Amino acid sequence: MASIPSKLYSDDVSLLMLLLDTNPFLWTGANTTTTSLPFPGFLTHVLSFLNSILLLNQLNQVVVIATGVNSCDYIYDSSSSLQKTADSSENGRMPILCSRLLSKLEEFVIEDERLSKDDSPEGIVSSLLSGSLSLALCYIQRVFRSGPLHPQPRILCLQGSPDGPEQYVAIMNAIFSAQRSMVPIDSCVIGAQHSAFLQQASYITGGVYLKPQLPDGLFQYLSTVFATDLLSRNFLRLPKPVGVDFRASCFCHKKTIDMGYICSVCLSIFCKHHKKCSTCGSVFGQALGDTSSTDRKRKTPET
């Protein structure tokens, strides 16, 4: 017998956690390819997208988390802004959602810059995706615990900067906890290259991974694919994963590797042989493989 009380919310009420990549290295420096769109243009698309989610259902909720290089923070929450509409509507011309989000975003970017260390970075620095994923999951857990009535949550990563292999463990942990709480992670990659982390995240949690061909039409991608509520996903043809990069990062040097050594006790991954596992402390036997390495490889590449 279907329990009626649990169905008090209709199926398409959703809570969207949007992770916004604010990496300055992505938006200014190396990102000079002609097809990609500048940050203001990007924001316009995103703001319209947020409005469209709120338009679809009165009970829909969006939360925006900014992912910086050194920190991440909540910058907009549609549920909390409802009460304070009166004081912010004074400045008139700008819509409330935009003005609130933009001012918080500015604060965040300044704060993020202040936190950065002085040593000059080499190339593009990755942004703190693991942190913002954790923030999103915390928020979702709070919503889950708030009572039997809650919207269906999902996470959307708008990511442009390359993966940071040093975040591998944290990100994988976040992915698996999202999988356990049945929260799909959608990813829309706006950078130049594919993101192996996000491919895995969407693959494992049953979300959609998409790298738009034409970043100028970002809104159309967002509204066509990522605005779909979880119920309708059962009926619609959405982009399927073409290929997922399952490569892992080693725990010792944080490098992405094709082949490596795995601790037989805790499954930690290492790029070369160690005497002792740095995670669980198990002592490994003699590395026979050092001398006759070809048939001793512990992890074979997927071909």
Partner 1 sequence: MPQVKIIAKNFMDMVAALPALKLDMLYDNGFICEAVLRSLPPLAKKYVLQMLYIDNSIPAKSMEEWVLAEGLSKHKNAIDRLTQLRVFLETVDRKKETSYILNPKFQSNLRKYLMYGGVSPREPMPSSVTVRLPSLEDLEAYALEQWESFLLQLISPSQADKPTNFSSSVMKVFQRGLLSQRDKEAPRLTEKGFQFLLMDTNAQLWYIIREYISNSEDRGVDSADLISFLLELSFHVAGEAYNLNTLTEVQRNTFKDLADLGLVKLQQGRKESWFIPTKLATNLSVSLSDSSSRKQGFVVVETNFRTYAYSSSKLHCEILRLFSRVEYQLPNLIVGAITKESLYSAFQNGISSEQIISFLQQNAHPRVAERTPSVPENVTDQIRLWETDLNRVEMTPAHLYDEFPSKDVFEAACDYARDNGGLLWDDSKRMRLVVKAEIHMQMREYLRRQKQ
Options 51, 71, 88, 141; binder of partner 1; rule CB under 8 A: 51
Q: Which is nearer to partner 1, 7 or 145 (CB)?
A: 7
Scan for tokens 């923030």, then name that residue: 135
For CA atoms 229, 231, 232, 238, the dihedral sign is positive
Q: Does 279 bind partner 1 (CB under 8 A)?
A: no
Q: Which of 130, 216, 125 has the alpha carbon at shortest distance from 175?
A: 130
* Cα Dmax for the chain: 75
**Structural tokens at position 20:** 């916004």
Q: Which is nearer to partner 1, 6 or 120 (CB)?
A: 6
Applying CB under 8 A, the span of 16-24, 45-53, 199-207, 245-253 interacting with partner 1 comes to 45-53
Q: Does 8 bind partner 1 (CB under 8 A)?
A: yes
| String of contacts with partner 1 for each residue 78-117, x by CB under 8 A | -------xx--------xxxx-------------------
Report the alpha-carbon distance of residue 41 to residue 142 in Å, rounded: 33
DSSP label of 276: B
Report the DSSP pairing between strands 185-189 and 152-159: parallel
Q: Does 293 bind partner 1 (CB under 8 A)?
A: no
Q: Which is nearer to partner 1, 147 or 243 (CB)?
A: 147
Report the alpha-carbon distance of residue 96 to residue 111 in Å, rounded: 23
Q: Which is nearer to partner 1, 40 or 285 (CB)?
A: 40
**Structural tokens at position 72:** 């991440």
* Residues at the contact surface with partner 1, assessed by CB under 8 A: 1, 3-13, 48, 51-52, 54-59, 85-86, 95-98, 148-149, 219-220, 223-224, 227-229, 231-232, 234-237
